[in-house]
Structure 1
Amino acid sequence: MATEYGREYGQEYGRGRRAGGGHRMPAALRAPVEGRTWRELGYVLLGLPVSLVLFTWTVTMVVVGAGLLVTFLGIPVLAAALAGCRGFAVLERARARALLGLDVAGPEPLRLRKPGAAAWMGAVLKSGTSWRNALYALVQLPWAVFTFSVAVTFWTLGWALLTYPLWFWAFPAYAGQGGLQLYGDEHHRIYLDNPFEITVTALVGLVFTLVTPWLVRALTTVDGLLVRGLLGPSPLSARVVELESDRGTVVDTAAADLRRIERDLHDGAQARLVGLAMDLGLAKEKLREDPQAAARMVEEAHGEVKTALQELRDLARGIHPAVLTDRGLDAALSSVASRCTVPVTVDVELPARPAQAIEGIAYFTVSELLQNISKHSRARTASVDVWRADDRLMVQVTDDGVGGAGLAGGSGLAGLAARLDAVDGVLVIDSPAGGPTRVIAELPWRP
């Protein structure tokens, strides 16, 4: 099942990419005149002066600050140097965004424990982002010199040779020689001056012209890696921010579940039990006066007890079903599928049981999706498939309903996606208008 899903999803993705990016002219021929190529060239050309300024600032300020560490002025100078590097990093991210289309998020802000200049300097000096920005300044200059030299040389050579048939006449007219000199010594010289040589020269220039955009693109790819790695948020800090966000989602979800349980108990079982106590009290009073009426009231109270017990069972099942704990996902999903208003087929292929938390999330995910199918899909059939793919637990729910499901508009699916994201899960929805609908949930496999 996992292999089939991956193949099908990849084919659909590939078709979408080809359909959206089709061009009549091959990419190799249109590359020299594309706007992207000229923007990348502009990035390389601007890189040299920008890196010179950044390198000069960083080296000068860091060396001066290090030399002044024996006095009280060293720390402020070093803090100013790193603050300047952080400012240059903002400009570099903007340049990469404008010319390379590379959207790199800014790093986490400085965390000041208390206001004041001393706290700010300490935060700047302790920040790993500041030192990574300074490292970028030192690495970028030699790389910028290399990329500038390669790009200018190849572009100039390519276009000069390609357009040679248009301007070779300038050599005999103004330089007093037959054309572009290929070889020369004391005895003889070789000029590119006959039609065959001029044509070959133009063809060589065409090759250089066609190859150069891809060479520049490869060079700017390395630039992109430098910007992402040294000017963007560090993986550790990004993970910390993500975990903080996920923790907030988990807390909000738990609070919402507690409010739901409290509301269900207050409006459901508690109200019935209060009514049951009142009915039994009235039956007790009428027991001697009218035994038949009291018997009818006791019988009605017995029915209320059954209803209250069923509501409590449903509530307990909503918190964590016993069948899931005892028998696992296969039996639990078969149970929830049997209560769906649409015929549902369940196929669970797992080599072992995942962690209880992951198992519970998978159960409630399927439960909510089947409730949506019952309420909104107008489907005739549905299916639930669960399998393991490497280190992921895959859950797929499909139906042949009217489609149109999505995350917009504050739907329940948006809340479900947030719950999955809190445990590094992913929710993928494919629901075109008219159906069918396919929802895939990926969860980390934790034994």
Structure 2
Amino acid sequence: MTIETRNSGMGTRARGIGLAAVRGLALALVSLPGAVLGFTLSLVSIVLVPVGIGVFTTPWVLTGVRAFANWRRVLAAEWGGVRIPSAYRPVPEDANPWTRTYAMLRDPATWRDLRWLQVDMTAGFVTALLPAVLVFYPLEGFAVAAGLWRPLAETGGYWYGFVRVADQTSALAAGALALVLLVPAHFFTTRLLHAHFALTRAVLAPSQTELAERVKVLTETRRDAVDTSAAELRRIERDLHDGAQARLVAMGMDLGTIETLLDKDPAQAKRLLAQARQSSVEALTELRDLVRGIHPPVLAERGLGDAVRALALRLPVATEVTVELDGRPDAPVESAAYFAVSEVLTNAVKHSGADRIWIDLHHSEGMLRISVTDNGRGGAVIEAGSGLAGVERRLGTFDGVLAVSSPAGGPTMVTLEIPCA
């Protein structure tokens, strides 16, 4: 039983070493051309930014580099058990080329990726190739000892390490050398592959400063969310106090008066009864509006797409809505997106002078993306106290971003992105 367990363990160890060698070879074959190509294209594209060409090419090239880096993060986790966090700043897909290029070049993660490409094509290539060399080179020695030396000898001899193979005796010496080389292969193959991924993590992982900055941003957005929630509760309390509650109190007083006048002045009681009925209708309308402002029933029942379509139907401007959503986002995300769109539409109707609005909702690559475009006068900006600033704070709670493209004369495009499964 002990012998069987030992043999099983040795077989598992051998398979692990062989797998590490194959994975190292695959990484070496991919890392060198991939890193060279990515770094070269990035460098050329960034250099061409001042002349305008790079503005259009840089976002695509850097997006490819990020995809390459993220793929290596996945391999590091699956093949080496090395977790490498990603800290890219979100970039709106529908932003104009200047905005996307500027945002990506300002991101420290972009320059970290470019440094990693240089390391990956040098030290990374070596650390990926060594596990394969440690395993496959001894196998070559065994093949030489088994008879491969004969066709090699016909070409004038063959050097295996420091052994010159010209006959069967020297071939056996090469086999003995290969057997010796299996010892470091046994101990270092998997460690070298892990070292490759550790090197990748050392270069690709965000710094503590970046993580601290990220925590600071998240803390600020959470605080803004709490402040916004508190302000919303105060608004609801004020609306109830000044609206529905006041009407209900007045109705109670009218009903008391009606009770007194029923026998003395039936006509006046009838008039007051009609007034009380009208007050009840108005109070009910105010309560419905208040509930709709908290969480619209159509949003809860029909989802974000139909809720936005309902918003569009109430607008005094011709509005076209395109929805491409396979499912429903989480309720908090759905609610935040709805009220953000509502605020953007309100701004467009009030300030843009537009006679047509287009709304597009779709989900791709783990992001809920919404764009609101109008053909108005333009000039919209995100500034303190504005509705767009409130939308930005609302989205920040979910790590979402808001981008505004609104040149003078229009058109205006407001893009919202929220991470969403």
Indicate the residue corresponding to 2:244 in structure 1: 269
Q: Aligned runs of 1:409-420 on 2, under 5 Å?
A: 409-420=384-395
Residues 136-183 of structure 1: per-residue CA shift (max 9 Å, x gap): xxxxxxxxxxxxxxxxxxxxxxxxxxxxxxxxxxxxxxxxxxxxxxxx
1:246 equivalent to 2:239? Answer: no
Is structure 2 residue 50 aligned with structure 1 residue 21?
Answer: yes
The C-alpha deviation readout for 1:205-229, integer Å capped at 9, x for no partner, is xxxxxxxxxxxxxxxxxxxx99997
Equivalences for residues 97-112 of structure 1 within 5 A: none
Secondary structure class of the residue paired with 2:263: coil
* Residue 317 to residue 407, structure 1, CA distance change in 2 (3 Å): same
Change (3 A) 1:301 1:406: same
Q: What is the CA–CA distance in structure 2 between the aligned matches of 1:273 and 1:247, rounded to whole Å?
A: 37
Paired residue type of 1:313: R
Give the SS at the match of 1:340: coil
Cα deviation code 1:90-114 (max 9, x no counterpart): xxxxxxxxxxx9998xxxxxxxxxx
Deviations 1:321-352 (A, max 9, x none): 12111111122112122222212222111011
Q: CA deviation at 1:367?
A: 1.0
Instruction: Give the match for residue 311 of structure 2.
Output: 336
Q: Using the alignment, how far apart are the partners of 2:358 and 2:308 within structure 1?
A: 11
1:59 corresponds to which residue? Answer: none
What residue is the counterpart of 1:350 in the other structure? 325
Q: What TM-score comes out, normalization by structure 1 length?
A: 0.48
Superposition deviation, residue 408 in structure 1 = 1.9
Q: How does 1:68-217 map to 2 (within 5 A)?
A: none
Q: Which residue of 1 aligns with 2:62?
A: none
Q: TM-score, normalised by structure 2?
A: 0.51
Whether 1:360 and 2:335 are equivalent positions in the alignment is yes
- Structure 1 residues 103 and 387: alpha-carbon distance in aligned structure 2, compared to 1, 3 A threshold: closer
> How far did residue 306 of structure 1 move?
0.9
Q: Which amino acid aligns with 1:425?
A: G
Aligned to 1:258: 233
Residues 292 and 20 of structure 1, relative CA distance in 2, 3 Å threshold: farther
Q: Does the CA-based 8 Å contact 1:329-1:348 persist in structure 2?
A: no
CA distance in 2, matches of 1:235, 1:18: 26
1:173-199 residue CA offsets vs partner (Å, 9 max, x unmatched): xxxxxxxxxxxxxxxxxxxxxxxxxxx
CA contact (8 A) 2:340 2:394 kept: no
Whether the 8 Å CA contact 1:403–1:436 is kept in 2: the answer is yes
- Structure 2 counterpart of 1:373, one-letter code: A
Pair 1:406–1:300, CA change in 2 (3 A): same
Structure 1 equivalent of residue 258 of structure 2: 283
Does 2:416 correspond to 1:387?
A: no
Contact 1:420 1:427 in 2 (8 A): yes
**SS at 1:424 equivalent:** coil
Say if 2:344 and 2:387, in contact at 8 Å, map to a contact too: no
How far apart are residue 22 of structure 1 and its match? Answer: 3.2
Deviation at 1:283, TM superposition (A): 2.2
* Amino acid in the other structure paired with 1:355: D
Query: 2:350 & 2:330 partners in 1: Cα distance?
Result: 30
Q: CA deviation at 1:18?
A: 10
1:393–1:444 contact (8 Å) kept in structure 2: yes
Provide the identity percentage: 47
Mapped partners of 1:286, 1:404: distance in 2: 61
Q: Is it true that 1:308 corresponds to 2:249 in the alignment?
A: no
Give the distance between the partners of 1:357 and 1:413, measured in 2 at CA.
19
C-alpha distance in 1 between matches for 2:372 and 2:405: 11
| One-letter amino acid of the counterpart of residue 266, structure 2 | P
The 3-state SS of whatever aligns with 1:393 is strand
CA shift in 2, pair 1:325/1:387, >3 Å: same
Residue equivalent to 1:325: 300
Deviation at 1:291, TM superposition (A): 1.1
The offset of 1:275, in angstroms, is 1.8
CA shift in 2, pair 1:406/1:258, >3 Å: same
- Once the two structures are TM-superposed, the CA of residue 416 in structure 1 deviates from its matched residue by 0.9
Q: What is the distance in 2 between the residues matched to 1:229 and 1:388?
A: 28
Residue 373 of structure 1: CA displacement?
Answer: 2.1
Distance in 2 of aligned mates of 1:254 and 1:410: 16
* Residue 399 of structure 2 corresponds to residue 370 of structure 1: no
Aligned to 1:144: none
The structure, 1 or 2, with the larger RCO (C-alpha pairs under 8 Å, 6+ apart) is 2
> What CA distance in whole angstroms lies between the structure 2 residues aligned with 1:341 and 1:398?
16
In structure 1, distance between residues paired with 2:318 and 2:232: 28
1:240 Cα deviation (Å)?
2.6
Distance 2:253 2:358 in 1: 46
Q: Note the C-alpha offset of 1:238.
A: 3.2
Alpha-carbon distance in structure 2 between the residues aligned to 1:400 and 1:18: 35
Q: Quote the residue 2:20 is aligned against.
A: none
Q: Offset at 1:313?
A: 0.7
Cα 1:282–1:377, aligned 2, differ >3 Å: closer, same or farther? farther
Cα distance in 2 for partners of 1:288, 1:294 equals 9
Give me the whole-angstrom Cα distance separating, in 2, the residues matched to 1:444 and 1:264: 33
Structure 1: gaps (5+ residues): 1-16, 24-100, 105-224
Query: Contact 2:325–2:363 (CA<8 Å) still a contact in 1?
Result: yes
**CA–CA distance in 1 between the matches of 2:257 and 2:285?**
24
Residues 291-337 of structure 1 deviation map (CA, whole Å, 9 limit, x = unaligned): 12211111111111111111111111111112111111122112122
Amino acid corresponding to residue 311 of structure 2 in structure 1: V
Q: Give the letter aligned to residue 256 of structure 2.
A: G
Q: Distance in 1 between matches of 2:378 and 2:216?
A: 35
The answer to whether the aligner puts 1:297 opposite 2:326 as a matched pair is: no
In 1, the alpha carbon distance for the partners of 2:107 and 2:368 equals: 31
> C-alpha distance in 1, partners of 2:237/2:208?
42
Amino acid of the structure 2 residue aligned with 1:444: P
Amino acid corresponding to residue 406 of structure 1 in structure 2: V
Q: What residue ranges of structure 2 are gaps of 5+ in the alignment? A: 1-45, 53-104, 109-200
